[in-house]
């Protein structure tokens, strides 16, 4: 049996098809076509419960970051098991409302550019908290709350100026980033807001970035946030909530050979220990906003090989999936393990794995060593559950993939493949 540690995908026997749990990806591709996103519900639940268990001694709420993967079936799955939600748009709010209307009181609204319409939507829905990113936004929130005669609970998203080693596109905790408010200015803003009857200072929020593999930066950020809470408490402003954000990363590289590497449970425990140490003495509620860590390794993109083409010294494996289906390699130079669904015998070969989109940047891997591949073979791009389908597009007028959720021994379609009629429907000519 070949398994991929930390992931629900495995070969039950060396010559068998890759499976998600007990379900063959070959059978799913035959039934639903390719490209195809496949997710493990069992692993998504397991990852949520890792967080819930690690913080069980504290009043807390795990607010899943909807932007990572906003499939309605996944939102419903998480809500049923006690998750809240972190949203960054009115559209995401409406997705949560559709999947789990009972969860509105467990929603936090983040993001730097909330519109009046989005704020009104969230106020009417009765969300838990607005994570406010600027003085101008706080002023707009007060205006809209007064207009609707609904008090608005808010937390300032403070920028603690903590460096986290990650890709520069997903680092958010430094002063030069567009996110948050300088933590040195926050106390004065809270004091000013205390005079507005429509604003309720509920907490303080921080988020230093995404795909962060070390626990220490999270602890360092919370130390600074807790000091702010204590300073405000001495001024009579009692904040009941600290929102620690998300950002805990995963290992996108194969970890089968790294027997000493910490597993997901150990990573969450290290993360929890760093936050708990920093929060010592704080008796309020803790909010957490994991996204990638919950869904990334639960998902794979299954693609079929169209051609194997040699150009000079390069050999290209051309698949029916492309950058419009999974843009992370083109956008971030991100690494995804690529696994033949049914491995062929033979020596490893070096390939560039690419798609059919008319861009040189349409690639999934360059100079990757893989078992031999032939036209018609299936490959699985692992760790594609986060920011895969969520960032997909119709570039080159390509229909986006179908999505399947595997729960136990049952697989069900949770999003049908798009059709040309879907793509043309909004257009007028």
Residue 315 forms beta bridges with which residues?
Answer: 310
Cα–Cα dist 252/333, whole Å: 12
Spatial contact of 307 and 374, defined as CB atoms under 8 Å apart: no
The residues that bridge with 140 in the sheet, in sequence order, are none
Q: Which SS3 state, helix, strand or coil, does residue 67 take?
A: helix
CA–CA separation, 21 and 43 (whole Å): 9
Burial category of 245 from C-beta neighbours within 10 Å (exposed 0-12, middle 13-18, buried 19 and up): buried
Question: Using CA atoms, how far apart are residues 44 and 28, in angstroms rounded to an integer?
Answer: 19
User: Nearest CA to 387 among 211, 245, 168?
Assistant: 211
What angle do helix axes 116-125 and 90-99 make, rounded to 10 degrees? 30
Pick the catalytic residue: 19, 20, 63, 358?
358
Residue 358 annotated to the active site: yes
Question: Can you give 108-142 as a three-state secondary structure string?
Answer: EECCCCCCHHHHHHHHHHCCCEEEECCHHHHHHHH
Tokens of 240: 């009941």
Specify burial of residue 331 (Cβ count, 10 A radius: 0-12, 13-18, 19+).
middle
- CA 310 vs. chain centroid, Å, equals 36
Of 204, 198, 206, nearest in space to 237 by CA: 204
CB contact at 8 A, 172 and 180: yes
What are the backbone angles phi and psi of residue 203, rounded to the nearest 5°?
Answer: -170, -165
Catalytic residue set: 358
């Amino acid at each position: 049996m070949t398994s991929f540690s930390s992931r629900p995908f495995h070969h039950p026997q060396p010559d068998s098809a890759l499976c998600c749990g007990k379900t063959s990806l070959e059978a799913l591709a035959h039934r639903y076509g390719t490209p195809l996103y496949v997710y493990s519900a069992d692993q998504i639940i397991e990852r949520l419960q890792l967080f819930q268990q690690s913080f069980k001694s504290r009043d807390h709420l795990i607010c899943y970051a909807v932007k990572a993967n906003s499939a309605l079936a996944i939102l419903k799955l998480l809500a049923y098991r006690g998750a809240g939600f972190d949203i960054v748009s009115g559209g995401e709010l409406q997705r949560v409302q559709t999947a789990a209307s009972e969860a509105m009181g467990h929603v936090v609204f983040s993001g730097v550019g909330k519109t009046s319409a989005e704020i009104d939507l969230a106020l009417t829905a009765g969300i838990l908290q607005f994570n406010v990113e600027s003085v101008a936004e706080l002023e707009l929130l007060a205006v809209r709350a007064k207009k609707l005669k609904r008090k608005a609970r808010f937390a300032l998203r403070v920028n603690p100026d903590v460096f986290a080693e990650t890709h520069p596109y997903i680092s958010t905790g430094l002063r030069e980033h567009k996110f948050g408010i300088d933590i040195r200015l926050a106390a004065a803003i809270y004091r000013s807001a205390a005079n507005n009857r429509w604003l309720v200072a509920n907490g303080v929020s921080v988020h230093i970035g995404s795909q962060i593999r070390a626990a220490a930066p999270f602890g360092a950020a919370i130390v600074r946030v807790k000091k702010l809470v204590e300073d405000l408490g001495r001024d009579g402003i009692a904040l009941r909530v600290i929102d620690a954000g998300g950002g805990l990363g995963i290992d996108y590289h194969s970890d089968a050979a790294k027997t000493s590497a910490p597993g997901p449970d150990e990573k969450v425990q290290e993360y929890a220990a760093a936050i708990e140490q920093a929060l010592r003495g704080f008796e309020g509620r803790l909010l957490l906003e994991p996204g990638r860590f919950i869904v990334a390794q639960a998902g794979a993109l299954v693609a079929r090989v169209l051609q194997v083409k040699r150009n000079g010294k390069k050999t290209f494996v051309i698949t029916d999936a492309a950058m419009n289906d999974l843009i992370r390699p083109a956008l971030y130079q991100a690494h995804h393990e690529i696994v033949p669904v049914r491995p062929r015998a033979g020596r490893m070969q070096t390939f560039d794995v690419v798609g059919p989109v008319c861009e040189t940047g349409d690639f999934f891997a360059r100079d990757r060593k893989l078992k031999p591949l032939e036209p018609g073979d299936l490959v699985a791009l692992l760790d594609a559950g986060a920011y895969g389908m969520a960032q997909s597009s119709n570039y080159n007028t390509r229909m986006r993939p179908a999505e399947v959720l595997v729960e136990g021994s049952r697989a069900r379609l949770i999003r049908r493949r798009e059709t040309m009629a879907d793509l043309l429907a909004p257009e007028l000519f």
